[in-house]
Amino acid sequence: MSALDTGLGADLTQLAYLLAAVGFILALKGLAGPRTARAGNLVGAGAAVLALVATFVYFPLDHKLLMIVAIAIGTAGGVLGAQRVQMTQMPQMVALFNGVGGGAAALVAILELNEMQPDPVSSVPRFVLVATAFTILVGAVSFSGSIITFAKLQELMTSRPVVFPGLPVVFGASLLASVAVAVLIILGSPTWIGVLLALLGLAVGVLLVLPVGGADVPIVISLLNAFTGLTVAAGGYVLSNVVLLVAGTLVGASGTFLTLLMAGAMGRSVANILFGALKGGSTLGAGEASDRPVRSAGPEDVAIMLGYAERVILVPGYGLAVAQAQHTLRECVEVLQARGIKTAYAIHPVAGRMPGHMNVLLAEAQVPYEQLIEMDDINDEFQHTDVVLVVGANDVVNPAARDTPSAPIYGMPILNADAAKQVVFLKRSMRPGFAGIENELLFMPETTLLFGDAKDSLSKLLAALKQL
């Protein structure tokens, strides 16, 4: 696509692109806080629509009708997905959206490479060819890697690390071959070389994500999201499109920061998360249920423990989201507060399947944001707490992260629930958490387990609390 022509139409289009870019920046700012997240999301969507309309109005595009049909189908699919996808499935949805973005960027770059034929070296700046090769390779990596993360989270394949003899060699050879083919594109090779590069990128993406298991998968989603942003930015350079360049840069930068923050919250490096399974350092994924004896109780006994406490801390996790029990949990907390009991929600940075998962889930249940306390601010309070109620969480309170160097989650900062006087776990079974290892806190003398579906257990607990 050629650069914008001069004239009023070009000026208006550039102005629309500028406004869209500003809108993306404001949207990102809005998404940084729970109170402004909804407005930020709407601003971002509006900016995307503005950029799209400006492109359709100004540029003499071919096959506009087919594009409009495709946009209509995509819009319908997006609306349907937003209405039907559960909160527990949001990470999978993010992975799919991210993968589609990377794949689309790679396809556009291949088409642009075809437009540069037959002699791109003499007519196209070398850096444009570099950006084109980068977009094809990294976009393909993002696409295939995101599909694998989706399959792992959706349990279409095992969530455990998948390794085989010679995996590092195959991965290294694929990566080197990709770089070599990218160099051929920069030197002016034909379009089919671009297709070959995309195929190699698909292989690299699969090999990159297969060894990742368990709780590490959401971090890889964030990393691949950063990859997609960078490909969109590079594609914007190839297309001479400022709004794509700005939007891609924002996504790439924010995705990179989020990846580093999530890795830091788990006390590990990104390299260890990606390649830890090759030396036994990745989280394991699904594991076997334990048959060790534990102390269990019924809803009435737990209600007595909570109802006569002075301070209670709630630790929500992915199990709360699966059971859709956030509203019932809020009602239980309101009953406790009415009895004069101090309560707070302890939020781990990677509770659930992605950052902010618990914040959004509890906001949906109209839990006041002031009651949500981040890990660093509440950890010292556990030692002064009578009862900690853990609802569907496991790894984020597992002392192995602090005490067991051989554990795959060792070094991950955790909520110090074991420092409280009593701990109550709401669990469906004795299966381990997402990391695939046992939680010794379950077997400690101060811990009581209430077995069952979280929503059903909380409903019975709520009824018992009201009768105290």
Which positions are catalytic? 395
Tokens of 114: 């075809």
Q: What are phi and psi of 422, to 5 degrees?
A: -140, 145
- In the chain, count H helices and then E strands: 18, 6
Burial of residue 59 (number of CB atoms within 10 Å: 0-12, 13-18, 19+):
middle
Amino acid identity for residue 260 in this structure:
L
Per the DSSP assignment, residues forming a β-bridge with 423 are 388, 447
Phi-psi region of 452 (alpha: psi -120 to 50; beta: other; left: phi over 0): left
Burial of residue 324 (number of CB atoms within 10 Å: 0-12, 13-18, 19+):
middle
Q: Would you say 425 and 449 are in contact if contact means Cβ atoms under 8 Å apart?
A: yes
Instruction: Give the side-chain half-sphere CA count within 13 A for 28.
Output: 17
CA distance 340 to 336: 7
Residue with tokens 């929600």: 345
Q: Before 413, cis peptide (omega within 30)?
A: no
Give the DSSP letter string of 289-314.
PP-----B--HHHHHHHHHT-SEEEE
Question: Please, what's the b/e burial string for 159-190 (b: 16 or more CB within 10 A of its CB; e: otherwise)?
Answer: bbbbeeeebeeebeebbeebeebbeebbebbe
Instruction: Determine the Cα angle at 350 with ends 448 and 253, to 5°.
Output: 175
Burial of residue 20 (number of CB atoms within 10 Å: 0-12, 13-18, 19+):
buried
Around Cβ 338, how many Cβ atoms within 10 Å?
10
Around Cβ 325, how many Cβ atoms within 10 Å?
25
Per the DSSP assignment, residues forming a β-bridge with 448 are 424
